[in-house]
Amino acid sequence: MNKLTVVTTYYNNEEHIKDCINSLKKQRNQNFNLILVDDGSTDESTNILNHELQDYDKEINIIKLDHNQGHAHARNIALDNVETEYVMFLDADDQLATYAIEFYLNNVNGLDGLIAPIHKFTLNKPQYVDKDKVRLEYLSQKSNPNSFLRKNSVCNILFKNAIIQAHNIRFNEELEIFTDASFVLDYINYAERFVRVFDFPFYFRGEVYDPFYGNTLSDQDFIFTFGDYVKSFYDSMERTHNKKVKNFLIEKMKKEIKLGFDPSLRDIETRYNALEETLVKVVKSIKWDIFKDAKVLYNLEILFLSMDAVDNAKYINNLRNISRHVKNIVQNNKLKNRSMYQLTDKESSVNPNTIIFESFGGKNYSDSPKYVYEYMQENYPQMNYYWALSNPENSVIPGNAIKVKKGSKEYYDAYSNAKFWVSNARLPLFLNKKENQTYIQTWHGTPLKRLANDMKSVRMPKTTTANYKKNFNLETSRWDYLVSPNHYSTNIFKSAFWMNEEDIWEIGYPRNDILINKQNDKELQDKIKKDLNLPEGKKVIMYAPTWRDDEFIKKGKYSFDLKINLENLQKELGDEYVILLRMHYLISNALDLNGFEEFAIDVSNYNDISELYLITDALITDYSSVMFDFGILKRPQFFFAYDIEKYESGLRGFYMDYMNDLPGEIITDEFKLAEELKVIDEHKVKYHDKIEAFYDKFCSLEKGESSKFIGDYIYKHSKE
């Protein structure tokens, strides 16, 4: 007979249930019973689960409830069916490492429990238990009564079934979210000795894909969880007489209040207003414990709350935030300028004649903001113009614009004073977009790959899928207007950026105006070629690949391995062509072009890619949105997608039918690429119909007047 039963209850967990059940199927030790409880799911969870169970050679107790009755009820039903010595809970959106159950059964040793840690989601799960890292401690409930309460969770704990059944220990079904403490507190009244595992991962929380409508506890909005947390706190305090446990619960409650009502939170006023009654009640019950170790201002805030003087408490909460900024200023630390901005920024600071421009996070003077600025500089020179730049000394900007260095006092002053913000990428969330300011987001490409809210998972360093989407949503909520190059993009932007269609300007990109207005300007094109020192008389091919999400080194650092085989291209094409190499701005490593100086030119740092399109006879790309802008010119494109299978299945996916809708050939072999480039004129004929269809769908909206539309709008509304 098996010693352990694993209980998994689920309700609408279609995003995670496959990974969860597969983590059980892959356990090296299969000597456990499994109880699955369908808590009235209405999505595809059960169908997915049934499919995954088809090849699982294990007798499983599957319990189906008619309708959703909550986590606590579903687990209680499961407990009525446990017959083994131990039971553990695995949430349906979490996973067990393949070595977990083997390790647990080898180390529980007949004790009253085994407590193992819960780790955050990660792609890099260990393959085995590192004995030099894992640590075990054999403890008693008398000396360590709070070990079972470590994560507000019963998951990843082996409970002794005899104790549960003898004392009829069950979850409190009156609680909605924080149900686990009720079970644990009843259990530890009877548990005596247990083993605790430290310093190594066995249990992983599932990745949060939807931070707005998901049902994972860790990602619920504080406004909706705090009330139940307080209710659970009261319930917990009534279930124990152990002073150590009570103190532990109080400390956790104190931390919840302090962090949940921190004055620096963006929604602190909303939290106070929504949770006022609950907050006052819980503060009154533990105020003396808070007073013991809090600072003066925080104690004063708590005192006012305990006296029902909520307006005074709010005032002190705001004063706490002000005092932090004052401290930054007095200490002259690196946040000094930002703190001064936060303290002085107000609607009355806004000057209706002031505009600030920023491109790619201050990287350079480029893209659509550049073209809007140059139109306005020519037509409305009397306006006040600012450019935000990381390194102002590296950018030459015509006209009367004032360059401000990001992070400087002048930078914050410009964002505080400007009535109009024009940017092509996200701006830092610490910039306060006020009601009397207008933020025009030009964006920077027609989307091929999935964006923001449409991405299932995000693989970038130092962030999670949930945090990425939350922060992106905070950013897009500040956009007053978003520029779209075509109706295809408009439909995507509505979903990806949470945008209303009436706030999207479907006018084409300002950076593409030059492709309409100057595509036959030979004098300009000859000048661009001379500026790049290109050999006279040679045609131009540009290679502009995308960056790969999974090729990062660390935050802000990305690698790129050139795949096009320059040596072979030079051999086959060097007499007639030069090749421009345009790497994505996120890619940091320099190209080594030794030996190719007369054939290959690195134009990654050339600020204006639109000018490069004008002189390019044929484009090589892969999954980059450059295809859409270049499509305006109706010139040949080649799609060197050497990793098409990996990219299509493993990264962000595509919006369009990549395999069928491209205006050129998909090539995966570097030598075939060279052969096809030798007959560019044949491609013009072969793909004529597709080039025209591509233009009609993605490029025909471009009329060369986007900069004028935006510039005129800004000038007109500066007078209102």
Strand, helix or coil at 67? coil
Apex CA 154: angle with CA 150 and CA 159, to 5°?
110
φ/ψ bin of 264: left (φ > 0), alpha (ψ from -120 to 50), beta (otherwise): alpha
- Determine phi and psi for 626, rounding to 5 degrees: -60, -25
| pLDDT on residue 435 | 96
Cα 456 to Cα 131, 222, 327, 652, distances in angstroms? 35, 23, 41, 8
Strand, helix or coil at 600? strand
| pLDDT on residue 123 | 84
- Determine phi and psi for 5, rounding to 5 degrees: -115, 130
Closest CA to 485 of 366, 365, 632, 361: 632
pLDDT in tens, 615-637: 999 999 998 899 999 999 999 99
Could you tell me the domains of the chain?
A: 4-204 (3.90.550.10), 222-333 (no CATH), 350-509 (3.40.50.11820), 519-701 (3.40.50.12580)
| pTM of the complete model beyond 0.75 | yes
pLDDT in tens, 484-508: 999 999 999 999 999 999 999 999 9
Beta bridge partners of 64: 38
- Which strand (E) or helix (H) includes residue 194? strand 193-198
336-344 vs 310-330: helix crossing angle, rounded to 10: 140
Using CA of residue 540, residue 544, residue 545, residue 551, what is the dihedral sign? positive
268, 257 in Cβ contact below 8 A?
Answer: no
Cα 124 to Cα 9, 34, 119, 504, 627, distances in angstroms? 26, 26, 12, 40, 35
**562 burial via Cβ count (<10 Å: 0-12, 13-18, 19+):** middle
Regarding beta strands 577-581 and 600-602, do their DSSP bridges make them parallel or antiparallel, or are they unpaired? parallel
Q: Looking at this protein, which amino acid is placed at residue 165?
A: Q
Question: Which regions of the chain are under pLDDT 50?
Answer: 217-219, 553, 556-559, 588, 650-651
